[in-house]
Amino acid sequence: MSKFLDRFRYFKQKGETFADGHGQLLETNRDWEDGYRQRWQHDKIVRSTHGVNCTGSCSWKIYVKNGLVTWETQQTDYPRTRPDMPNHEPRGCPRGASYSWYLYSANRLKYPLMRKRLMKMWREAKKLHRDPVEAWASIIEDADKAKSFKQARGRGGFVRSSWQEVNELIAASNVYTVKTYGPDRVAGFSPIPAMSMVSYASGARYLSLIGGTCLSFYDWYCDLPPASPQTWGEQTDVPESADWYNSCYIIAWGSNVPQTRTPDAHFFTEVRYKGTKTVAVTPDYAEIAKLCDLWLAPKQGTDAAMALAMGHVMLREFHLDNPRQYFTDYVRRYTDMPMLVMLEERDGYYAAGRMLRAADLVDSLGQENNPEWKTVAISSNGEMVAPNGSIGFRWGEKGKWNLEQRDGTTGAETELQLSLLGSQDEIANVGFPYFGGEGPEYFNHVALDNVLLHKLPAKRLQLADGSSALVTTVYDLTMANYGLERGLNDENCAASYDDIKAYTPAWAEQITGVPRAQIIRIAREFADNADKTHGRSMIIVGAGLNHWYHLDMNYRGLINMLVFCGCVGQSGGGWAHYVGQEKLRPQTGWQPLAFALDWQRPARHMNSTSYFYNHSSQWRYETVTAQELLSPTADKSRYSGHLIDFNVRAERMGWLPSAPQLGTNPLYIAREAEKAGMTPVDYTVKSLKDGSIRFAAEQPENGKNHPRNLFIWRSNLLGSSGKGHEYMLKYLLGTEHGIQGLDLGKQGGVKPEEVEWVDNGLDGKLDLVVTLDFRLSSTCLYSDIVLPTATWYEKDDMNTSDMHPFIHPLSAAVDPAWESKSDWDIYKGIAKKFSEVCVGHLGKETDVVTLPIQHDSAAELAQPLDVKDWKKGECDLIPGKTAPHIMTVERDYPATYERFTSIGPLMEKIGNGGKGIAWNTQSEMDLLRKLNYTKADGPAKGQPMLNTAIDAAEMILTLAPETNGQVAVKAWAALSEFTGRDHTHLATNKEDEKIRFRDIQAQPRKIISSPTWSGLEDEHVSYNAGYTNVHELIPWRTLSGRQQLYQDHQWMRDFGESLLVYRPPIDTRSVKAVMGCKSNGNPERALNFLTPHQKWGIHSTYSDNLLMLTLSRGGPIVWMSETDAKDLGIEDNDWIEVFNSNGALTARAVVSQRVPAGMTMMYHAQERIVNLPGSEITQQRGGIHNSVTRITPKPTHMIGGYAQLAYGFNYYGTVGSNRDEFVVVRKMKNINWLDGEGNDQVQESVK
């Protein structure tokens, strides 16, 4: 009672005062403080991070009390940077600080779940069939039963199951599918291994062991910038964020750094204190604009136009009028600008053709090895030379694949001529395609001739076949393409920046809306800084540019600017592309684990964009044709058909992978070959030629050539990244959907030539969808089985990023809650059950695998000069040359579990490697036997064990040069053999360093420099892409061995993209067919639909987190301009509907002056499970951002078998762009929450 009374100051005497009465000494009860003390008490702190694709890769303290995670804070013990650099910490963001909420929330998945209808069928089938495979067959072969549970997808109805039951059903389905249709009909999707590399490897290893298909992600997410492979032969390599601090001029172009790169943003603000100028380029007033000195706001989708105009200024002032020595030397040594290009005759003019090769000339300039792959230039003394470094020197010989300025034949030092101007034999009229006068009506156009004729200096050469040809240099082509007058009286070149000619600042002003004076000023400042600092000008770029259909034009515009200014490969300069946590630093140690390359090679890989375009039947609704994409200089008769036809042609020519691969079970082929007395390879070649076997993509609707089982883990495929969401619901899942448009049959559109058309597409292609997650996501809602996985604080794993040089652990601070398990343990359990269930159905089998022509292999020299299709009779079918490799893989299905849990013998027999180099791994395998112990018996007897996720992590760390200094020295030595230069000095000081898993749990560890990346991890220089190319003279992995500004593949030329051009956004034709068709009485307007990355989540993760929902508006929102909102009668927070022929979504409107008219934004990604009413259009629950999107692949991204334009998993291929899309926006009239039959809560929208 006394304590109660003590709380009332009225009953207490006044205490002693001090400080002239300003202070008072009181003796009060402080028991209330115990609540706070108890809240923040903890038993231990464990280091972990967040396995979310945010690129942050931040180290966190996880506080544990009484066996429960209570909270998290940021770690502050990163290794210190050098004295002149800010430290990396603090690293973290509000989203990461809220993650512990998930562990014990209602959103947490606690037990294995199965759809009730399926469970009932399964249990009944098990009573009738003792064999699980026969039980599954009885369900899936009964069309009514299969349709029944497929139609229930997305409608709830989950019930709790057991691990034993779900593992048995999954294994039975997999065995049935492999046996009946083929292992390539089992597929798995998981993105971005770097964020939790062991977890990714868990599922990929299981799939690879059974012959399943691993689907790509980087291209599907549209994180892949095709311009990077095109220019550098590199998927993506970028500076770490600390290198921003070394820059003296930064343009943040379409990258909202403080919002999407929160942990790294301090470097951006800190560099301003040393005087660095920062410029923001965004169409909306984004958060990055607040951190910059200047903001430019080009109309969205027109960035290439502004980049071209800036390049025009740079070339005019710094290369022609007042040439800067540094720039001239840089482009001469490190770009393809000196290389000669053949000119091809057209009707009244010439067009730029392919690059001249040594094989074109008499005696091949003395080159005997790969002369058709050695580019040619003219030396300063006028002689023709094949300089070192081109891709022909990489394969088949040693010691000349370097960027030393030497003649590849004589070895003599040589300086290459950039231009033929002044030494030309004649002036040629060369035609350049122009696309700036076309495009959707919303975008601005400048009408000029669609073929612009420019005058170029040219030389006439005698060729080996007796003919002659005109040639010019890439430098001369570039100057003409940018519209620069060089005294040749070229009427299509500009006399001043005010001329409305391609690609002047005045021209760009009309396209982009940015004043020409600003364009000139920024270009001038950027180049001047680069000249004075030798390349310390940088462009930070992101999804804002990379999600458009012509994304490579946007990016090549920026890359050209950087190359013109000598910025690539210089610390503080270059191209900083940050979209997706792509940098799996210990990649070469991870690949054998993930794809079971220690047991069998090759693995089955598939590019997801082509995969989903085909199997979700989005191609059936295609409105864009190849004809409208072609250059006006191309022969259009060679490019007939539908876009999917180009994908099929690319598959059969060995350019792209296919999955399923062939129209027959690949396990059957070896048996049939044996009966015919042939090898499986020869039998397959014969059968493809005579048509008895066809590529599966040619008959996607025949019931046998589509995927059957799909695993999804570490991903919200159907709630975040699934472009064409409604098509997936209909054609893959067989459930209700919101498609509003008509297919090609009903439209009367262009039907395919290579693909068989059927009037009614096949619905519900997937027999089983299995998702692993720690929360109930939209993908889980549409799955048949949901497996509860451990959270990032409950499992052991590893995490790396391109934003910093450290490798971080995910640690099991507590055991997985309820019945959840780590990804490794889940797939280990499935593998064990598969090995048991397959007995009697599958044994040791020969699997025929088709493999596209691979980048970074000698096969990338397969198709040197032109495109020939064996099916059209233009050449013979030669595997690995004119068609995919056809290979056999021996699979031991009953040994799947034993192989999953051990490291196979191929690491000792063949070794390891990456990106074209290889080394011996015997000593590393010996070490792993000591670290992980060995199998005592069975098929893997004597092999190192992989029982736990930590065992798997140790395999990665031991085999990777980035984490094992001994391997790094071996890797650099292997590269030195190719270049003829010693590079081992880059790693010898780290030779004895070996990073172990528990080392990184103690403190983040900096990785070791590796030849599989193009930057250095060094105490004296921050990581910067291209650094070793410039400073170690290691060629880029391109045709010329240099930065490839001219893309000379025939398809690139015929589609008008051999050089940089401005291509406006495409017309997806998805609005007119639905505008006004289902009116609700409110006005409608077509707006461009963008999906930038959000502030309150990382993709869809955290978007359902109560803490983030509380900070944000708490549900789906769409941003729009005040102008558009006023015209449509929409006020802030009104419910609106967004729809087109692809589908519909509902959301609240955020009306803001920071958004320009004509554009709307729905931040990526907002789940369909929170605060979502029904759609008036579809009469179904709202939809998500991808409900209004559909994939349109680009033919130039299908190219393969050609130097840097050869396929690699996540390296090159079709991408899932979506920003060209338009939608109809209107205010909703009735808000229907669809709360249940007979109990719908309908509220009138009145404002």
pLDDT tens string 6-20: 555 555 556 788 998
Burial of 1080 (0-12, 13-18, 19+ CB in 10 A): middle
Q: pLDDT value at position 543?
A: 86
3-state secondary structure of 307: helix
pLDDT of residue 13: 57
Spell out the residues 6+ positions from residue 359 whose beta carbon is closer than 8 angstroms to its own: 367, 371, 372, 374, 464, 864
Tell me what the mean pLDDT of segment 493-509 comes to. Answer: 98
Separation of alpha carbons 296 and 285, rounded Å: 9
The residue type found at 900 is: F
Give 99 or 1235, the one with higher predicted confidence: 99
Element spanning 575, H or E: strand 574-577
- Classify residue 808 by its DSSP letter: E
Tracing tokens 């490798």 back to the chain, one arrives at 807
Is the pLDDT at 1239 greater than 60? The verdict is no
In whole angstroms, give the CA distance from residue 375 to residue 335.
Answer: 12
Q: Is residue 1188 a contact partner of residue 1137, using CB atoms and an 8 Å limit?
A: no
d(CA 658, CA 113): 32
pLDDT score at 10: 55
Q: Which helix (H) or strand (E) holds 228?
A: helix 227-232
Rounded CA separation 724/1063 (Å): 24
User: SS3 letters for 824-843?
Assistant: HHHHHHHHHHHHHHCCCCCC
- Map 663-692 to HEC letters: CCCHHHHHHHHHHHCCCHHHHHHHHHHHCC
In the structure, what pLDDT confidence band is assigned to residue 1240 with cuts at 50, 70 and 90?
very low
Four-point Cα dihedral 1098, 1103, 1105, 1109, nearest 10:
120
Helix (H) or strand (E) holding 345: strand 340-345
Crossing angle (nearest 10°) for helices 303-315 and 551-564: 20
Residue 1246 pLDDT: 42
Residue 856 — pLDDT band, cuts 50, 70, 90? very high
123 residue type, one letter: R
Residue 1244 has pLDDT above 60, yes or no: no
The 8-class DSSP code of residue 717 comes to I
Which residues share a beta bridge with 630?
none
| Angle between helix 516-533 and helix 505-512 axes, rounded to 10 deg | 120
pLDDT of residue 1247: 40
pLDDT in tens, 111-138: 999 999 999 999 999 999 999 999 999 9
Can you read off the two tokens belonging to residue 718? 């159907």
Average pLDDT, the chain: 96
Query: Is 196's pLDDT higher than 70?
Result: yes
Mean pLDDT of 1210-1223: 97
Phi then psi for residue 65, to 5 deg, are: -140, 125
Residue 355's closest CA among 953, 893, 1042?
1042
Looking at residue 1014, its amino acid is S
- Judge whether 1172 and 1146 are in contact, CB under 8 Å: yes
Report the SS3 class of residue 37: helix
CA distances for 306 relative to 37, 482, 540, 745, 1218, angstroms: 57, 12, 16, 40, 21
Q: Tell me the two tokens of residue 751.
A: 């039907």
Encoded amino acid at 390, one letter? S
Rounded to an integer, what distance in angstroms lies between the CA atom of residue 903 and that of residue 929?
9
Stated pTM of the model: 0.97
Sign of CA dihedral 1099, 1104, 1105, 1106: positive
Q: What angle do CA 305, 310, 315 make, to 5 degrees?
A: 125
Residue-wise pLDDT for 265-314, tens only, equals: 999 999 999 999 999 999 999 999 999 999 999 999 999 999 999 999 99
Stretch (H or E) spanning 148: helix 143-151
Is 1152 in contact with 580 (CB distance < 8 Å)? no
Report DSSP letters for 854-903, one per residue: BTTSGGGGS--SS---GGGTSS---BTTTB-EEEEEEEEGGGHHHHHTB-
Q: What does the alpha-carbon distance between residue 713 and residue 966 come to, in Å, rounded to a whole number?
A: 34
- Residue 913 reports pLDDT greater than 80: yes
* Cβ–Cβ under 8 Å, residues 697 and 755: yes
Residue 27's pLDDT is what? 79
What burial letters (b/e) apply to 505-525, b meaning 16+ CB within 10 Å?
Answer: bbbbbebbbbebebbbebbbb
Please say if the pLDDT value at position 410 is more than 70.
Answer: yes
Cα separation of 695 and 871, whole Å? 12
User: What is the rounded distance in angstroms from the CA atom of residue 930 to the CA atom of residue 562?
Assistant: 49
pLDDT tens sequence across 872-881: 999 999 999 9
Give the residue-averaged pLDDT of 335-358.
Answer: 98
Average pLDDT over residues 566-592: 96
Give the residues across from 114 on adjacent strands: 159, 785
The DSSP line for 1189-1211 is ------GGGG--SBTTBSBBTTT
The pLDDT of residue 1237 is 55
| Averaged pLDDT for residues 543-570 | 97
Residue 967, SS3? helix
Q: For the residues of 896-924, what is the DSSP string, one character each?
A: HHHHHTB--THHHHT-EEETTEEE--HHH
pLDDT at residue 903 in the model? 99
Domains of the chain: 1085-1189+1217-1244 (2.40.40.20)
Nearest to 570 by CA among 188, 939, 152, 248: 248
Residue 1168, pLDDT > 90, answer: no
